[in-house]
Amino acid sequence: MSKRDYSLFGPDAKRAVESGLTAAEWYHTEVPRKVMKDLMARSDQPAIRDTIILYGSMVLFAGIGIALWPSWWSAPFWLAYGVLYGSASDSRWHECSHGTAFKTPWMNNWVYQIASFMIMRNSATWRWSHARHHSETYFVGRDPEIAVMRPPEVAKLILNFFGILDVIKFFPNLVQNALFGPTAAEKTFVPESEWGKVQKVAIVHLSIYLATIALAVWMGSILPLMVVGLPRMYGAWHHVMTGLLQHGGLADNVIDHRLNSRTVYMNPISRFIYWNMNYHVEHHMFPMVPYHALPRLHEVIKDDLPPPNTSIAQAFAEMWPAIKRQVMNEDYFIKRDLPPTAKPYREDFHHYVPGMMPPAAAE
Amino acid sequence: MPWIDACSTSDIDEEDLIRWDHAGKTFAIYHSPDGEFFATAGLCTHENIHLCDGLVMGNLIECPKHNGQFDYRTGEAMRAPVCVNLKTFPVKVEGDRVFVEVA
Ligand code: FES
């Protein structure tokens, strides 16, 4: 059984480069150029509508929460506000970092900056880590956004439903970024020309947190932190739940997104919060397609993909036992059957990465 | 520098591009919304992905891999993660043929 090293400086990172894995070409379903052009077309209207609904609801829920504070009657409003702050911000951050949410660049940038603050990510750093996540999705030692490392530490995954580990990691990093710029690991994927920006963003974020804490101390109440900061914890569960499903239990070190990503049909509220990223195979294969066109893209290519999971619960029922099995055997992963209409999985590359993904480990 | 007959004007839709390979090199040829033609190196300067599957929006080409953008008229890198400009090549149209001056 192989032992994975997720460090960006470790032997697996080196092996991924030396073996040619990082330079290999990913599998893509064939889509006629005209159809793809139509799917890629940008528009402001859907994202403006969704952003008004999102920020409008946040103001409303937080307003009622503040009005009813400190009564327990305020709790449901905080829970609703928290999910929008601590989970919907993840999908807004994501889509706007691709620049596909809006047609107008400044709108993408504004929503990206606000979402980055709420989800506690440095907007200048994470743009680059996400580029790496797309080029080298789930390559061990290369992808800085692997949510489930093998062998999985189940307790840590559960703690993160409340953002605990993310937040504990975030603040020392924020202070370090504000004082000295990017860390050594961040410097591996952020180009030098952007290091100053990383520091500037960190100073702005840190100042907002310090001002919020000062206000809380002055008021003698945690209320300001209920609005800024804490919702990243009490509202994180939805983005962690959907985020785990993106790649959890599936293959790593492969060059076919049908093997390492999961598409899940979801209820409309979760799809609003998640901005259609439940079509995750589609998004990885064609990151140019905006979130609002992903359902259409799904219809176009679904015959070439493994059947989607039919609900969040059904997807968890598939993923969770696999994660538990990976605790004992980190080479284990789920390999879903393709429909007869699909091209076979692109597995040729696995043979060049000894020990990383023995096909026999799959089911 | 030689002018090479690359393609017909009708080979590229308006506001679109095609891939063109010549003498072991790969290029992208664009048809702008104003009806003009341009040529650049074919591969994105970020990670060597071919731009031919990308999206032309006005004077910009968006790379299909990480959504980096270039102004294809000047090659200027316009949106992260691309930082290095794209090489451009002179283009002329004679009749219905598009010629590229390859360096
Ligand atoms: S390869 Fe073109 S933007 Fe990354």
Over residues A345-359, mean pLDDT? 51
At B99, list the tokens. Answer: 């010629």
CATH homologous superfamily, domain B3-101: Rieske [2Fe-2S] iron-sulphur domain (2.102.10.10)
Residue A5: inside a domain:
no
C-alpha closest to that of A93 among A69, A110, A71, A75: A110
Q: For A312-336, what is each residue's pLDDT tens digit?
A: 999 999 999 999 999 999 989 999 9
What's the B75 CA to ligand 1 centre distance in angstroms?
14
* Residue A1: pLDDT band with limits 50, 70, 90: low
**CB contacts, 8 Å: A193 with chain B:** 83
Q: Which domain holds residue A20?
A: 11-361
Optimal mutation site among B48, B67, B71, interface A, most CBs of chain A within 10 A? B67
Q: For A78-88, what is each residue's pLDDT tens digit?
A: 999 999 999 99
Give the bridge partners for B94, in sequence order.
Answer: B97
Looking at CA atoms only, how far is residue B95 from chain A in angstroms?
Answer: 26
A287 touching chain B per CB within 8 A: yes
Is the shortest distance between the CB of B17 and ligand 1 below 6 Å?
no
Q: Cβ(B7)–Cβ(B20) under 8 Å? A: yes
Is the shortest distance between the CB of B51 and ligand 1 below 6 Å?
no
Question: What is the rounded (10 degree) CA torsion for A37, B31, A45, A275?
Answer: 40
A36 touching chain B per CB within 8 A: yes
Helix, strand, coil % (nearest 5) of chain A? 65, 0, 35
The complex scores an ipTM of 0.85
A68 CB-near residues (< 8 Å, 6+ apart): A74, A77
Check residue A189 and give its pLDDT.
Answer: 81
Residue A3: inside a domain:
no
A291 touching chain B per CB within 8 A: no
Q: Where do we find the tokens 């829920």?
A: A61
Residue A334: inside a domain:
yes
CB contact under 8 A, A128 and B80: yes
> Ligand 1: which of B48, B55, B63 to mutate, judged by most atoms within 8 Å of the beta carbon?
B63
Check residue A348 and give its pLDDT.
Answer: 58
Residue A2: inside a domain:
no
End-to-end Cα separation, chain B, in angstroms: 6
Domains in chain A: how many in total? 1
Q: Cβ(A279)–Cβ(A290) under 8 Å? A: no
CB count within 10 Å of CB A12 equals 23
Residue B43 has what DSSP assignment?
Answer: B
Q: In chain B, where are the structural domains located?
A: 3-101
CB contact under 8 A, B83 and A99: no
* Residue A361: pLDDT band with limits 50, 70, 90: very low
CB contact under 8 A, A287 and B64: yes
Is the shortest distance between the CB of B82 and ligand 1 below 6 Å?
yes
Residue A361 has what DSSP assignment?
Answer: G
- Mean pLDDT of chain B, nearest integer: 94
